[in-house]
Amino acid sequence: MATFTVLDLLSLDLKEHNALELRCIGGRPGLTREIRIPDLNRPGLALGGFYDKFGFDRIQIFGRGETSYLIKLAAEGKTETIEQLFTRDVPCTIFTHGQEPTDDFRRIAEGSGCPILQTELATSEFSSRLIRALSNVFAPHETIHGTLAEVFGIGVLILGDSGVGKSEAALELIERGHRLVADDAVEIRCVSGNILQGAGANKALGHHMEIRGLGIINITHLFGVGAIRDSKQIQMIVELELWDSNKTYDRIGAEEVTRDILGVRVPYLQIPVKPGRNVPIIIETAAMNERLKKMGYFSAREFNQSVLKWLESEHARNAYFQNRDMFHRETEESGQESDE
């Protein structure tokens, strides 16, 4: 991935329950320092002089306990452990609860070129938000040519060759009350190891759509903010392709097909396109069917089981009647022999 610096951390556009509320209160020349590891460290043991296994390459979080210990060191005139801390290439230090570093700490940190950040958030809340943010930044990602929409709560990634009708299908879905996430270029990130989160590769252009013969349209202006969302988990992939009369298409769907993206298997459907087929309604139905599968109801497999039960019952019924007829014939024959 590209270099991620402390300045990039300050510039993250996070809102509401994800906001970090960070500001720089010292060591501004060090804002270009690179953050290489998406993890945090509480340097309590290091301040006490124990530097074995010290995670110096992580962001250092100073909560109330660490700050109180800094005040104690300042009162005793001890700065050795602080000086030893900044002999390492620490990315940055962050003080939570709106706390201020001591003068000694500020002097030593700025002398080493290490930036000092501050947040009003509590340590536990800030740590969880920061870990989420760093996990997203450092997550494996790739950009795919396609359209991402939310259909009945299911994130549907629509793929296909250029001109096959991806944007037109998405436009009809929006008209029917569903929401657009991104068109043309979808950036996909693998979060938490098994969740694919999709968003527009370019935030400034993400909610615009190109319709051949019409040009570029702004979905937000045409349909309102209720017709868009910034990101969505990808839960199904639909690939549109021109109808090939020589190809055999799945007509039952008993076997679930998946496609691998960034090591995650996602349910995958191929939908042939030809005049007369209402592709948006097919995508809607596929999304509803996927929701049923997540609830434990697999229509195609249930249909197969019903057919098998019917065949088994029909076979048993035929076998019963055949055996009964054979029994009656044998009884009649034995009766005739005894009469003779």
Active-site residue numbers? 145, 166, 184, 251
Tokens found for residue 267: 């349910």
**Is there a contact between 169 and 176 (Cβ–Cβ < 8 Å)?**
no
Tokens found for residue 45: 């043991």
- Taking the C-alpha atoms of residue 185 and residue 56, their distance in angstroms, rounded to an integer, is 38
**What DSSP state is assigned to residue 228?**
B
Signed CA dihedral, 328, 330, 333, 338: sign only? negative
- Taking the C-alpha atoms of residue 169 and residue 173, their distance in angstroms, rounded to an integer, is 6
Residue 211: what are its φ and ψ, rounded to 5°? Answer: -115, 120
**Is there a contact between 34 and 65 (Cβ–Cβ < 8 Å)?**
no
Residue 267: what are its φ and ψ, rounded to 5°? Answer: -55, 135
Tokens found for residue 316: 């048993």
